[in-house]
């Protein structure tokens, strides 16, 4: 179904059009609640684009029912399953707004999420907020994302090269920035790729407000600290360690290639990381471990760990890569 053209002109109040991209796949169980919190946002100048990845449940029926009530809701149905990364990429290419907000199918948003994010983004290419962790019934479990990870501004690509703890459902970004990140790499989660790229184009701003109710349930694609969950909608099973290592090698090489030569120190560190990630030779193992020790404050910036825990992590790099 083709998209209905939406004007990206500002409203009378001067508010920019913001495109909310919702990537769906068999999300009918929680989708209506999420969509209603998007539709009822206090910020009204929205286009809401649902990109469905060949769902076989009642996802399409739910979206169409809401389309009949709100003309801002639009539906695009993929002819073949793209997977969540490419599905979000497709949604970003369809956006007409000056800003893009990414949305998962199974959470719920604070009704001021878009308004507060838009008001706070300033000149940054990307902003993210905190989330309240909830159970499957959307009841808070007593922790937030910021309780588990370091939530702060990030402006160095090394801070996002080893781990990313910024979740797509919290992100608001500029459309002109998003265009620079396409194509998304299929071996890197879309939000990680976007966050790394944002550090190369002006940095990432943190809004210290809990604006998403982050639902945890058995079919979550990712857990609250980034670990994969069973029920992965594409693989159906956990990948082998060998496959995961190959993906990590591709990721670190891509990060090295994207880093501009003007960031000479970061480029040099990424070059060294890229080299010692290629094998588990004794030489590479020592080089990798020493690199982590030398730059642990930067490379482990997203992780909320004590100095001792950071050192132990560095020692582990002698026998693994991450």
Torsions phi, psi of 168, nearest 5? -55, -35
Task: Indicate if 142 and 249 belong to the same structural domain.
Answer: no
171 and 303 inside one domain = no
Helix and strand element counts for the chain (H, E): 12, 9
CB atoms within 10 A of CB 94: 17
Query: Would residue 235 count as lying in a domain?
Result: no
Read off the pLDDT band of 223 (50, 70, 90): low
Q: What is the pLDDT of residues 43-65, one digit of tens each?
A: 999 999 999 999 999 999 999 99
Same domain membership, residue 32 and residue 117 = yes
134 and 34, same structural domain?
A: yes
The answer to whether residue 228 is domain-embedded is no
Q: Are residues 199 and 103 in the same domain?
A: yes
Euclidean distance between CA atoms 193 and 88, whole angstroms:
12
pLDDT tens sequence across 259-312: 999 999 999 999 999 999 989 999 999 999 999 999 999 999 999 999 999 999
CATH code of 76's domain: 3.90.550.10
Q: Are residues 63 and 190 in the same domain?
A: yes
4 is a domain residue: no
Give the three-state DSSP class for 24: strand
Co-location of 119 and 211 in the same domain = yes
152/166 Cα distance (integer angstroms): 10
Write down the pLDDT at residue 224: 57
Statement: residue 32 has pLDDT above 70:
yes
Say whether both 205 and 252 belong to one domain: no
Residue 63 CA to residue 74 CA, distance in Å, equals: 8
Residue 232 in any domain: the answer is: no
Tokens of 177: 């920035």
Find the domain containing 177 and state its range: 18-215
Give per-residue pLDDT as tens, 52-101. 999 999 999 999 999 999 999 999 999 999 999 999 999 999 999 999 99
Q: Are residues 67 and 208 in the same domain?
A: yes
| Predicted confidence (pLDDT) at residue 239 exceeds the cutoff of 50 | yes
Query: Of 159, 180, 215, which residue sits at a domain end?
Result: 215
pLDDT band with cut points at 50, 70 and 90 for residue 229: very low
Mean confidence (pLDDT) of the chain: 91
pLDDT level of residue 228 (50, 70, 90 thresholds): very low
Can you give the pLDDT at residue 146? 97
Asked whether residue 192 falls in the same domain as residue 82, the answer is yes
- How far apart CA 37 and CA 182 sit, in angstroms, is 28
Q: What is the pTM of this model?
A: 0.90
Question: Residues 104-120: pLDDT tens digits?
Answer: 999 999 999 999 999 99
142 occurs within a structural domain: yes
Tokens 């907000």, located at residue:
101
75 in the same domain as 38:
yes
Please, which residues bridge with residue 63 across strands?
Answer: none
Task: Say whether 289 sits in a helix, a strand or coil.
Answer: helix
Task: Establish if 207 belongs to a structural domain.
Answer: yes
Closest CA to 195 of 134, 149, 142: 149
Question: What confidence score (pLDDT) does residue 14 get?
Answer: 65
> For residue 12, what pLDDT is reported?
40
Residue 230 has what pLDDT?
36
Considering the domain boundaries, does residue 226 fall inside one?
no
In terms of domains, do 263 and 197 share one?
no
pLDDT of the residue at 15: 87
| Overall number of domains in the chain | 2
Confirm whether 154 is domain-assigned: yes
């Amino acid at each position: 179904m083709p998209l209905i053209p939406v004007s990206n002109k500002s409203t009378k109040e001067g508010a920019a059009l913001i495109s909310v991209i919702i990537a769906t796949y068999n999300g009918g169980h929680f989708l209506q609640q999420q969509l209603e919190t998007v539709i009822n946002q206090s910020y009204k100048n929205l286009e809401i684009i649902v990109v469905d990845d060949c769902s076989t449940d009642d996802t399409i029926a739910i979206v169409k029912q809401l389309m009949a009530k709100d003309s801002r809701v639009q539906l695009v149905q993929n002819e073949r399953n793209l997977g969540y990364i490419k599905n979000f990429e497709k949604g970003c290419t369809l956006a007409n707004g000056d800003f893009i907000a990414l949305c998962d199918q199974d959470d719920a948003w604070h009704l001021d999420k878009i308004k507060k994010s838009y008001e706070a983004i300033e000149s940054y290419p990307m902003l993210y907020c905190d989330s309240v962790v909830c159970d499957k019934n959307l009841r808070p479990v007593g922790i937030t994302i910021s309780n588990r990870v370091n939530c702060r501004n990030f402006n160095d690509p090394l801070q996002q090269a080893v781990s990313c703890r910024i979740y797509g459902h919290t992100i608001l970004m500029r459309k002109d920035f998003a265009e620079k990140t396409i194509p998304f790499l299929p071996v890197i989660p879309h939000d990680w790729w976007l966050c790394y790229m944002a550090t190369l184009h002006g940095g990432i701003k943190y809004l210290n407000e809990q604006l998403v109710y982050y639902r945890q349930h058995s079919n979550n694609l990712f857990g609250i600290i980034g670990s994969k969950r069973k029920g992965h909608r594409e693989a159906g099973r956990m990948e082998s360690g060998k496959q995961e290592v190959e993906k990590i090698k591709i990721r670190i090489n891509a990060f090295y290639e994207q880093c501009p030569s003007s960031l000479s120190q970061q480029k040099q560190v990424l070059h060294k990381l890229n080299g010692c990630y290629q094998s588990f030779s004794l030489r590479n193992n020592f080089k990798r471990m020493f690199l982590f020790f030398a730059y642990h404050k930067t490379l482990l910036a997203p992780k909320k760990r004590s100095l001792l825990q950071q050192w132990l992590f560095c020692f582990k790099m002698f026998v693994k890569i991450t």
